Amino acid sequence: MAPWSGLWGARAGADAYRGTPVVVKMENPNWSISEISPEDADDEDFLVSGAGARARRRKGGRGKNAKQITWVLLLKAHRAAGCLASLASAAVALGAAARRRVADGRTDADAACAGAPGPAGESPVLRSRLYGFIRAFLVLSVLLLAVELAAHFHGWDLAASALALPIIGVESLYGSWLRLRAAYLAPLLQFLTDACVVLFLIQSADRLIQCLGSFYITVKRIKPRLKSPVLPDAEDPDAGYYPMVLVQIPMCNEKEVYQQSIAAVCNLDWPRSNFLVQVLDDSDDPTTQSLIREEVAKWQQTGARILYRHRVLRDGYKAGNLKSAMGCSYVKDYEFVAIFDADFQPNPDFLKRTVPHFKDNDELGLVQARWSFVNKDENLLTRLQNINLCFHFEVEQQVNGVFLNFFGFNGTAGVWRIKALEESGGWMERTTVEDMDIAVRAHLHGWKFIFLNDVECQCELPESYEAYRKQQHRWHSGPMQLFRLCIPDIIKSKISVWKKFNLIFLFFLLRKLILPFYSFTLFCIILPMTMFVPEAELPDWVVCYIPALMSLLNILPSPKSFPFIIPYLLFENTMSVTKFNAMISGLFQLGSAYEWVVTKKSGRSSEGDLISLAAVAVPPKELRHHQKEGKKQKKHNRIYKKELALSLLLLTAAARSLLTKQGIHFYFLLFQGISFLLVGLDLIGEQVE
């Protein structure tokens, strides 16, 4: 009978294999690369190379295959040991950085260190109320953990049926706690859990619908179209569409980036007689004022139509600055106004790609371009911000622009019809989100908006957690201020019921109030408490699967950021404490809601871009001198008390979850607690040695 030579059978012949060759590569350059095949000899033969080993070859191959596997496992263990060594060194470095933070003793409550004291008249008690609330939960969780550990080690595994029986001693107190927990605490906590889960599902459904809308736009290749063709002929303004455009650059103490923004705007490809640049400087530093004034004078000498304005009375922050500039007598000669913050660098063709959309479109009030970021790969913090903002522009702004003709103005990189601004009441200083304020009022007056996803304007992301935190506080407290102020106007307006519903429920309540509320309450308070009150359950799909799906949807507009999906999920939950605090401040008109801190810029993008744009006006040596001078400001990393307290609360709850063997909950609490710890010690973003 012929031998079987099926899939698992041996091959006949002298050249038959008894297995698959294994190539073993050692990372150590002093070791060679060896190929181990089943024809090699045993342990001694393996160490002998060439014909000597083959001469002592044995017929059986099982022992040699086992030795091959052993060697491969040993080599993998060697590689794992190298990874552990690198992790150990990273842990040591992390511990050293944490020790420096603690020894330095600077916290987010240190007003002198922050450089931005709280609002006048605000009680310090109000500023620390949320911290006291979190600290109380932390103390309670530690006490409950001690009780649960004592019950576990003493074997107080009391069944529900035995709780009614009289028990003597300490066990009776523990039994009383179990009865209290099951009868009173668990129902209340379960009710709060279910309510937050419902809000979570509603917000997730909204996010999913937006993503489907973005997918539909991509598949159908929907984009705003020009109503009338435009002849782009800069040589003959009469042959094309070149209306009068006013370009405004509001800034305040922007020593690091003022040159790049002025240079980029002055190099816009538009007939010089048809646009005027206003540099609206609100700086209170005389040196910065002098530098900006000199920069404007240099560009005036090159023929650019540019003016420098400085207010004597600096009321109303950015809104007051823009309102003051619009009051100039010559503004009546201009039909449109383009606004760029100090760190924004529009491409030369920006006006040519935005302004033509206004032609023969009298209902159009705003054309908004998207942002791109020159420092998105600077550190982990900027990478995570890039994920968030890519989703904001690619999905939220684009979907709302296509299907609703309305979205929140981003405050910069946009062109307004001046008539729309005037009919909507102009700039108002009543909130810290003047851009959203004017957008809502213009929408109520019937003006339409267009978002151009393919027109980008470069800008800079905050590189330090301190700057990002202050920015997010303003972005989340301002909408709640505005909601309180404009809700009567929305109800009384003549827009359709659907548009009123979109403004009140979707735009304000769901995306500005409910999102930070349930993120903080559900994942930072309720989830840890369910570990100590296990009668109230939080399903696994709420803790893991739905958040993972939402994070995946958020990261789709920036697919290169996919490796950061887990840090993104953890960091978004970590930021919920700042967003929740800001939302409460704006909703209840607390003093911190009126804080306006200019986001610090590093000016990393200014040198290369400005040299190419302004080689004539600014010599490279002088440019580098000004940049270095701007970077000499002394900075400090600090400790953020709320985030640190929440990290201890989550880690305590993770320790408690080990007793009940809740796998998913334990891992989520552990990694989320570590995330809060890293942020609380300011170990994310720019690091100052």
Question: Which are the catalytic amino acids?
Answer: 282, 435
Taking Cα atoms as reference points, which of 436, 274, 461 lies closest to residue 366?
436
Show Cβ contacts of residue 56 under 8 Å, excluding neighbours closer than 6 positions. Answer: 41, 44, 45
* Measured CA distances, 96 to 89, 437, 635, 689 (Å): 11, 46, 19, 12
Give the length of the chain. Answer: 689
Q: Give the H/E segment covering residue 284.
A: none
In this structure, what token pair is assigned to residue 318?
């950015």
In this structure, what token pair is assigned to residue 96?
């050293």
Long-range CB contact pairs, 488-494, < 8 A, 24+? 489/441, 489/444, 490/440, 490/444, 493/444
Taking Cα atoms as reference points, which of 198, 218, 306 lies closest to residue 261?
306
Give dist(CA 631, CA 255) in Å, integer. 9
Chain centroid offset of residue 338 CA:
27
In this structure, what token pair is assigned to residue 590?
């607390």
Give dist(CA 689, CA 685) in Å, integer. 13
Please name the amino acid found at residue 266.
Answer: C
Give dist(CA 21, CA 26) in Å, integer. 16
Chain centroid offset of residue 58 CA:
63
Helix (H, G, I), strand (E, B) or coil at 229: coil
In this structure, what token pair is assigned to residue 502?
């979109």
Give dist(CA 138, CA 125) in Å, integer. 19
Give dist(CA 317, CA 586) in Å, integer. 17
In this structure, what token pair is assigned to residue 69?
């596997």
Identify any residues that bridge with 459 across adjacent strands, giving them in sequence order: 373
Taking Cα atoms as reference points, which of 354, 349, 394 lies closest to residue 371?
394
Structural contact between residues 576 and 672, judged by C-beta atoms closer than 8 angstroms: no
For β-strands 364-373 and 306-310, DSSP reports them as unpaired
Helix (H, G, I), strand (E, B) or coil at 134: helix
Taking Cα atoms as reference points, which of 24, 642, 630, 575 lies closest to residue 292?
630
Structural contact between residues 642 and 130, judged by C-beta atoms closer than 8 angstroms: yes
For β-strands 448-459 and 345-346, DSSP reports them as antiparallel
